[in-house]
Amino acid sequence: MHDETDAEFDELKDRALARLEAGGGDWSRLPEPAARFITVHSARGVRDNGGYRDFFESDWPTGAGPW
């Protein structure tokens, strides 16, 4: 079951990132659910690379933090 969930997550991630790329990287052209999905997905990398300080001080492209 875990592999199926991973595959579904990867498919959603790929679709959201493809929409972002198709829009020329312009976050304002993404539907809100896709923008939130990418933001939440990206949050872990920000936190893992810079800790919580970077996480909370980041200038998120959607205009809001991942919360």
User: 60 in the Ramachandran plot: left (φ > 0), alpha (ψ -120 to 50) or beta?
Assistant: beta
Q: Does position 61 have pLDDT exceeding 70, yes or no?
A: no
Q: What is the predicted pLDDT for the residue at 32? A: 87
Cα separation, 60 vs 49, in Å, equals 15
Domain boundaries, the chain: 29-60
Cα separation, 13 vs 18, in Å, equals 8
pLDDT in tens, 27-52: 888 888 888 888 888 777 777 887 77
CA torsion sign for 62, 36, 15, 43 is positive
Q: Give pTM, 2 decimals.
A: 0.63
